[in-house]
Each structure stands twice: as structure tokens, then as C-alpha cells.
Amino acid sequence: MDYSDEDLIEQARAATSMEERNALTEQLFERHYRRVALWCLRWCGSREQAEDLAQEIFLKVHRNLASFQRQSKFTTWLFMVCRNHCINSGMAARSSEAVELDQDLMSTLAAAGPDPEQSLAQAKRRELALELIHRNLDPTEREVFVLHHVEGWSLPMVSRALQLNNASGAKAYLVSAQRKLKTAVARWRARTGA
């Protein structure tokens, strides 16, 4: 049977043995490891660092699973743990040369396809697109942009998760991010003649 994240957490809390609890939380972590590693990569820009951060985050989540209150989805809580851990670790966006961000940015940021050659090309474009996002957006704009366009969260959901209490919530940050990225692409194209 395929349990929801929240059901797995409840089962892990009710487990009578450490082995059973660990097996249930391992299922949870297997579901979300890739997503957390990608979130970390967006913060630090290094795959090795991102993997280390993801391991630290899952250890923290394992230790603090009892504090999950079910007031939000598990993935929202997990994102907040990840975000706070990256901020507390002093992770900053990498800075290297700007890259093209064209009209198919959203498909570039989507998961790579089954063809290995295509997957490699998509992975490279994805990495380059993320670089452009890191170089041109402030941390809040970056989080709003990624959560909305990459993770598919609604703007109200992003506003709640990031505790954005301004009048227009996440929408203001998203508009600013899109404007900055459009300008960055125009500069890149003018510089490279693309």
C-alpha cells in the first residue's frame, strides 16, 4: 500500500521498535532525497556540498520528526527545515558567468528524460539555468521563483510557507524575479550575440 508522507510519519511515531521506525522514515527520505538535494544545490551550487547538506537535513528531520504538527503538508515543513538549515550553514549562491535563460526555462528545470544523451544535455542546461537564477535573484525571489515554477506550488501556498506578509505576498517577488531574469537574458544575449 502506498501511504502518504503524513501517514508514514504517524506510523513511525507509533512504531514499537527502532528498526520499524527507521524503516518507515527511510521510505520517507527515499521519496524526498532528490528534491532536498536539488533545493540544497540551488543554495550552494556544488553537488558535493548539496549532498552533504541533504544528509545533514535528513538527520535533523529524523531527530525532530516528533515536532511535525500536520498543520501543513510534510513537504512544506521539509522545505522550511531545508531552507533554515541552508541559511544557518551560511550557504550563498554561487557566482560564475551568466548563462542563457530562454523561453523554455521551465522545461529546462523539469526532470530530465529517459534518453541518456538527452538527459546529460538537459542536466547541463538545468545547471546553467540555475546559475543564472542564483546570480540575478535575491534569496526570497529565488525561493518564490523555484517553488512556484519548478515545484509547482500556488502563490498563496508559497506566501504561507515563506511567511510573506506583504500585501501581494509571493506575487510581488515573482514579478520582480521574472523582470530581473528577462533583463539578465537580454544582457547575456547582447554580450554573446546569441
Please check whether residue 65 is in contact with residue 25, taking contact to mean a CB–CB distance below 8 angstroms: yes
Handedness of CA 25, 62, 140, 142 (dihedral sign): negative
Q: At what angle do helices 18-44 and 116-136 cross, to 10 degrees?
A: 70
Give the single-character DSSP code of 151.
S
* 56 closest CA partner among 40, 76, 69: 40
Ranges of each domain in the chain? 1-92, 97-194
Residues whose CB is less than 8 angstroms from the CB of residue 68 and which lie 6 or more positions away in sequence, other chains included:
9, 74, 77
Give the residue carrying C-alpha cell 502563490.
155
DSSP string for 61-100: HHHHGGG--SSS-HHHHHHHHHHHHHHHTT----------
Long-range CB pairs of 168-173 (<8 Å, 24+ gap) are 170/144, 173/140, 173/141, 173/144, 173/145
**Predicted local confidence at residue 57, as pLDDT:** 92
The pTM for the full model equals 0.51
Q: Tens digit of pLDDT for each residue in 129-162?
A: 777 777 888 888 888 887 887 777 788 888 888 8
- The Cα 72–Cα 159 span in angstroms is 13
Q: Supply the pLDDT for residue 192.
A: 67
Q: What is the pLDDT along the chain (194 residues), one digit of tens a residue?
A: 678 888 888 888 888 898 998 888 889 889 999 888 888 887 777 788 888 889 999 988 888 888 888 777 888 888 888 888 887 776 543 323 223 333 334 444 444 444 555 555 666 666 667 777 778 888 888 888 878 877 777 888 888 888 888 878 888 998 898 888 888 877 767 776 65
CA distance 44 to 86: 8
Fold of 1-92: Rna Polymerase Sigma Factor; Chain: A (1.10.1740)
CB 36 within 8 A of CB 54: yes
Q: How far apart are CA 184 and CA 173, in angstroms?
A: 16
